[in-house]
Amino acid sequence: VNIILLGPPGAGKGTQAKRLVDGRGMVQLSTGDMLREAKTSGTEMGNRVAEVMAKGQLVTDEIVIGLIEEKITGHAGGGFIFDGFPRTLPQADALGALLARTGQTLDAVIEMRVDDTALVSRITGRYTCGSCGAVYHDATKPTAKAGVCDVCGSTEMVRRADDNEDALKQRLMEYYKKTSPLIGYYYAKGKLSSVDGLAEMDAVGAAIASVLDKR
Ligand code: AP5
Ligand code: ZN
Choosing from 4, 13, 95, 202 the residue with most ligand 1 atoms within 8 A of its CB, the one to mutate for a pocket test is: 13
Catalytic annotation on 122? no
From 42, 13, 7, 40, select the one nearest 28 (Cα to Cα).
13
Q: Ligand 2 centre from 67 Cα, in Å?
A: 24
> What was the ipTM of the complex prediction?
0.96
**According to the model, what pLDDT value does residue 199 have?**
96
Task: Report CA-CA distances (Å) from 212 to 106, 109, 136, 185.
Answer: 12, 10, 25, 20
Of residues 13, 18, 19, 39, which has the active-site annotation? 13
pLDDT, mean of each 10-residue run, the chain (215 residues) = 97 97 95 90 87 96 95 83 98 97 94 94 95 95 97 96 94 97 98 97 97 92
> How many CB atoms sit inside 10 A of residue 11's CB?
23
**Binding site listing:** 10-15, 31, 36, 57-59, 84-87, 91, 126, 129, 132, 135-136, 149, 152, 160, 171, 199
**DSSP β-ladder status, 80-83 and 108-113:** unpaired
**According to the model, what pLDDT value does residue 114 have?**
96
Rounded distance between C-alpha atoms, residue 172 and residue 56, angstroms: 8
pTM for the model stands at 0.95
The helix (run of H) or strand (run of E) holding residue 135 is: strand 135-137
**According to the model, what pLDDT value does residue 31 have?**
97
Q: Is the CB of 53 under 6 A from ligand 1?
A: yes
Q: Ligand 1 centre from 198 Cα, in Å?
A: 14
